[in-house]
Amino acid sequence: MPRALFLLLIAAILPAQRPELPKIQDWKGRTILVFTPHPDDDTFGCGGTLALLAKNGNRIFIAIYTNDDKGSYDLDMNSQRLAAIRKAEEETACSTLGISKENILWMGHHDGMLEYVNPLALVEQTTAIIRKVQPYAIFSIDPGREDVRWHKTDHRMAAMNTVDAIRASEWHLYFPNQRLSQGLMPWKPQWVILYYTKPADANIWVDIDADLKIKAAAAHVSQFEPAIHKYRPDWDPTELEKFTAGFKTRLPKKDGRYMEAFRATRY
């Protein structure tokens, strides 16, 4: 059993000592790698924080597991077209948050099919991304969420596969061909920051610009009414207003301020 995990186990038995926590708002010039199951979970899960990080001069990469080519009720929609729509929407959302489309890494899997992809090839692909990007911190979807336990989907697979790949990345004997033929060295991030976390598991909260986050969320036009039922490339203005208002009331607050909550671990 690798040493890091051993310490974790030991720790779990002892009275909780105060764990070290990241000060995300102070980060500058860091490399950040975000894993997201679909091209919108990054916006919903940590968009406000990413905007802050971008503003503070950090380099952000977004690795997207799937192309989201299935989630439309429009019977005239097809998968190739939907994938193109979602790609463009994600680029707009990222641009709103201050992330350029050159920094988006499309991992190339199909919506809803992540469970059925070869899992060894998936973890190898993910490990290579981590070793190439060499991030200071990795954001990913929390594998401990209740709905992840209850719903076996891209979310669960993306969540688990990312933590697996983080573990594999630090040991050169996992996928040694990556070092030999691509020159990729083992890498261990300093922080793993999980979004879509259970409220009870959250240990850090980041103060965000709610309007900017909602603006980015609204870029995912085809994910919402009316476009999800009958595709149109833009919002009906009334619907947009309703969406914006609804989204804002639902955003979590702490001490009267809009927040994003995370479960952070020193790695």
- Choose one: 48-56, 132-140, 179-187, 230-238; the region binding its own copies (CB under 8 A): 179-187
Binds its own copies by CB under 8 A, chosen from 30, 35, 40, 215: 40
Q: Give CA–CA dist 101/95, Å, rounded.
A: 7
Helices (H) and strands (E) in the chain, counts: 9, 8
Instruction: Report d(CA 159, CA 165) in Å as an integer.
Output: 10
The tokens describing 2, both together, are 């690798």
Q: Nearer Cβ to its own copies, position 160 or 212?
A: 160
Does 248 participate in binding its own copies (rule CB under 8 A)? no
Q: Which is nearer to its own copies, 53 or 69 (CB)?
A: 69
Instruction: Please tell me whether residue 242 binds its own copies under the rule CB under 8 A.
Output: no
Using CB under 8 A, count the residues that bind its own copies.
87
Task: Indicate the residue among 57 and 108 with the shorter CB distance to its own copies.
Answer: 108
Interface with its own copies (CB under 8 A), residue from 24, 33, 44, 58 = 44
Largest CA-CA distance found in the chain, in angstroms, rounded:
58
At residue 100, the 3 state secondary structure works out as coil
Q: Which of residues 68-87 bind its own copies (CB under 8 A)?
A: 68-73, 75, 77-84, 87
Q: Which of residues 193-222 bind its own copies (CB under 8 A)?
A: 196, 198-199
